[in-house]
A and B are shown apart, each in its own frame.
Chain A
Amino acid sequence: MLLASLLVASFVIFAATYLAPGNPIAALSGGRSLPASSVHVLEQRYHLNAPFFTQYWYWLGNALHGNLGISITLRENVSTLIASRIWTTAGLVLYASVLILVFGIGMGLAAGLRPGLVDTSTVVLTAISAAIPAFVAAIVLILVFAVKLGWFPAIGNGTGVLDDVRHLTLPALSLAVSSLAIVARITRAAVREERERDHVQTAISRGIPARQLIRRHVLRNAAIPITTIAGITIASLIAVAAVVETAFSLNGLGAYLVQSAQSKDLAVVQGISLLLVTAFVVVNLLVDVLYAMLDPRVSLGSRAA
């Protein structure tokens, strides 16, 4: 199913060349005047004189081999351009995912298991931060932590691994803020629901130690919706990363995708889109697998969310 999604997605991405107003050459050149030699190169490279589906086949085949075409502004292979930026984005998404899992699930657990002040403040905090878009979080974090406090650098990639992590902290935090809230909420709701279940209540009245209960019953069952929402949220990070990368001037795929869209460098847009959609599908696949492992009643592919 997900593979079918991928195939259709790749088709749509490819068809973009034809959806653009004007002919494919105009689309690939982004409306620039090109010398005749470049036009010829484009025609050869993209097999523009072949029938539509043959072209799609060539494009897809090339893509699977890592050949994603040429950037019209830089006259460089798209794959090379992607390779130099992919680690920034991957690092950012990974860092943000860790923050979401640790703090999101952590806060949700704390709120779900301990009603009272912890719970109330979590509810309020998550209600607010769920509504904060990543780029608003970005400017607030820049203002507070980079400008006023000077704890973190306000932009750019770092040099070397440790410095990279320092540079990615504020961006990862911006990316994680609203997703964190959602995950915390779901965790809290799931944990509470499980706690109120009959068999848990019975066990409590029978005097079984709380910790054992929590581990064996509450968490185990709550893990399913938590995994689902965590998976969906992390997959969505792939796209929102573009906004955060732009706000922090990070040299990542997302920011580059946006710049290429603005410069109408269609080959780059297609290449990166394909990569991002694939990543999205793969993450969703992993969540499916995890879900199936956690819930033996479920067979692969039938996850309804």
Chain B
Amino acid sequence: MARKNTVMMAGVTAVTLALAISACGRSAGSPAAGNVSATKGLVATTPAGTAAVSSVTWAVYRDVNSLDPIYAFDYPENTAVSLMCESLLRQSPAGSIGPGLATVSSPSPTQLVFTLKPGVTFWDGHPVTPADVVYSLERNTNTKLGGFYGLVFSRVASIKATGSSQVTITLKQPDYWLPGELASMPGVIIEKSFAQQQGKNYGTPAGSIMCTGAYKLKSFKPGTGVTAVANPQYWNSSVKPLVRAILVKGAPDISSFTSAMLTGAIQGSYSAGGIATLNQLEHSSSVKVYQGPGWSTDAFIVSSFSGALGDVRVRRALSLALNRKGIIDSVYKGAAVLPRWLSNPGTFGYGQSVFNAAYARSPVLTQNIAAARKLVQAAGATGKTITIGTSSQLSDISADAGAYQAAAQAIGLKVALKSVSAQNYINFFIDPKARQGIDGFLTANYGDYADPAAMLATLDLPGGSQNYDNFNDPAIVSALEQARSTANPGKRAALVAQAEKLTAQQLPWIPDVQPNSLLMLSRKLSGAVVSFAYMFAPWANSLGGTG
């Protein structure tokens, strides 16, 4: 009797072991990537949907935590706000800036005159007035509110209502970046009376929002998500939203997200970073993956120049030692390209010939460990420790951190990792306390509109929202400030290209790879925007069934 027990146990153990061993991994020769090529089939949009759909669940990498545009600086918040709200000007999927709620004219280099389109109304039927515009724009610079975009208005002298449907912005100096920003979160227009009534609760789960888009807010419940419903009274009668309700929900776990997409529990999502299961999604019969030109860059933000990374040689060494191919294969499964600059070439929204030429002249960032090691030795940094901020819950951030760890150790540096939860990762960006003790952290970063300067400004200019340790290179600053005042797009492009070239030499941020914009959509749906413009402009206005 007892012997039987033992024999049975042995049997069960053997079977289990066999199962486990047979569960092999991939073979050494095969690339982890699928047939996802970086250049094939890049599109900016998908064909418009044709059939009505009752509900769509849309995934973002974590739960949305605010619907107030002045606090929207990360993928989940942007996705939710751009779904429902509209800005003064609007970015097209291809990256050009055009009229949004208003048209703009420039009677002089220091004046921008916005004329509201006739008939634009909020969800409650009230017309959008110049007072609403002035209020919405000025919220950005109200220090009591602590919004993220104050600095984009740094050249603004005044914002005034100058007519029954006209607002004039007077500038201290010409500012050719401002229209791009006004086609993004800082330019989102909300209703003044509604917002004042809501007070502190505006945009929080405790309150509500009032915007103008084709989808309006139905509920905002943490844990459940943001539910938006079609707005039958949308002011633009040529747009008829086909989806009755869209739920924007946080799906931080990649396995869960993948299973949900494969089974149809989630019908769409944009990627905020690498998608480890891209192969499955690509080959699935229920999901289609679209790739568009990327506007974002995967990079290592150097948040402290007082440690080992204060020496530009060490930064260059780290960049030289990085295994970028490994990141492209294993994190992005092929859906990313090697960088030459910090900004993604997808952001060349104007002056393309100038940008492309300058880009082609710049060298691709390749790996050279021997040279990197020499640089570290020359800088006398061998044996020094760098601390990298990361989150073990965000798999691609974690993988990137691993790649930097490998790179640093290969060139004689020591690495410590400071890991925080997925919820808290955002604190590295906004809270100096969170950045204490680390030399840098990873990001998948982007500008507010299709211009390389949009992102560069935040890290290269003094006081920039992502300039964490007073990086100040006079040549770069002057190139960018000049670009901002330059009317001619070609000349502007040349100045920005110069700033990019210098940034790639000084490396206040180290570029990792440049991801393509990724849309994962149920095959039963079509019409969502593919390009990164989804972050700043309505992306579901053409979304509908393919039936």
Residue numbers of A with Cβ under 8 A of B are 30-33, 35, 71, 73-77, 80-81, 84-85, 120-121, 123-124, 127-128, 142-143, 146, 153-156, 158-159, 248-249, 251, 256, 259, 262-265
CA distance A146 to B260 in the complex (A): 11
Beta-carbon contact of B9 and A155 below 8 Å = no
CA distance A88 to B438 in the complex (A): 38
**CB pairs A–B below 8 angstroms (28 shown):** A30-B424, A33-B431, A73-B423, A75-B204, A76-B205, A76-B222, A80-B222, A84-B222, A84-B223, A84-B224, A85-B223, A120-B1, A120-B5, A121-B8, A124-B9, A142-B255, A153-B259, A153-B263, A154-B255, A155-B259, A156-B256, A156-B265, A249-B251, A249-B255, A249-B256, A263-B423, A263-B424, A264-B424
Q: A32-B434, A35-B146, A249-B253 are in contact. Are A155 and B260 (CB under 8 A)?
A: yes
Which residue of the partner chain A has the closest CB to B425? A263
Q: Is B427's CB within 8 Å of the partner chain A?
A: yes
Which residue of the partner chain B has the closest CB to A163? B265
Q: Is B28's CB within 8 Å of the partner chain A?
A: no
Closest Cβ–Cβ distance, residue B254 to chain A (whole Å): 10
CB < 8 Å: which of A123, A155, A256 contacts B255?
A155
Q: Is B432's CB within 8 Å of the partner chain A?
A: yes
CB < 8 Å: which of B5, B205, B251, B253 contacts A74?
B205
Q: Is B18's CB within 8 Å of the partner chain A?
A: no
Other A-B pairs, 5, CB within 8 Å; known A81-B223, A85-B223 = A32-B433, A75-B204, A262-B423, A262-B424, A264-B424
CA distance A146 to B23 in the complex (A): 15
Q: Is B12's CB within 8 Å of the partner chain A?
A: yes
Tally of contacts, chain A with chain B, CB under 8 A: 93
CA distance A73 to B65 in the complex (A): 8
Closest Cβ–Cβ distance, residue B3 to chain A (whole Å): 10
Which residues on the A side are within 8 Å of B1 (C-beta)?
120
Q: Mark B245-260, 1 if CB is under 8 A from A, else 0.
A: 0000001110110111
CA distance A176 to B177 in the complex (A): 59
Q: A124-B5, A124-B12 are in contact. Are A146 and B206 (CB under 8 A)?
A: no
Beta-carbon contact of B423 and A259 below 8 Å = yes
Closest Cβ–Cβ distance, residue B489 to chain A (whole Å): 40
CA distance A158 to B420 in the complex (A): 29
Beta-carbon contact of B265 and A120 below 8 Å = no
Residues of B1-29 whose CB lies within 8 A of A:
1, 4-5, 8-9, 12, 23
Which residue of the partner chain B has the closest CB to A253? B223
Q: Is B421's CB within 8 Å of the partner chain A?
A: yes
Which residues on the B side are within 8 Å of A146 (C-beta)?
259
Beta-carbon contact of B423 and A120 below 8 Å = no
CA distance A35 to B143 in the complex (A): 11
Which residues on the A side are within 8 Å of B253 (C-beta)?
155, 249
Which residues on the A side are within 8 Å of B252 (C-beta)?
249
Closest Cβ–Cβ distance, residue B73 to chain A (whole Å): 16
Which residue of the partner chain A has the closest CB to B258? A154
Q: A128-B9, A154-B256 are in contact. Are A33 and B265 (CB under 8 A)?
A: no
CB < 8 Å: which of B12, B23, B256, B431 contacts A32?
B431
Which residues on the B side are within 8 Å of A74 (C-beta)?
65, 205, 222
CA distance A126 to B390 in the complex (A): 41
CA distance A262 to B391 in the complex (A): 11
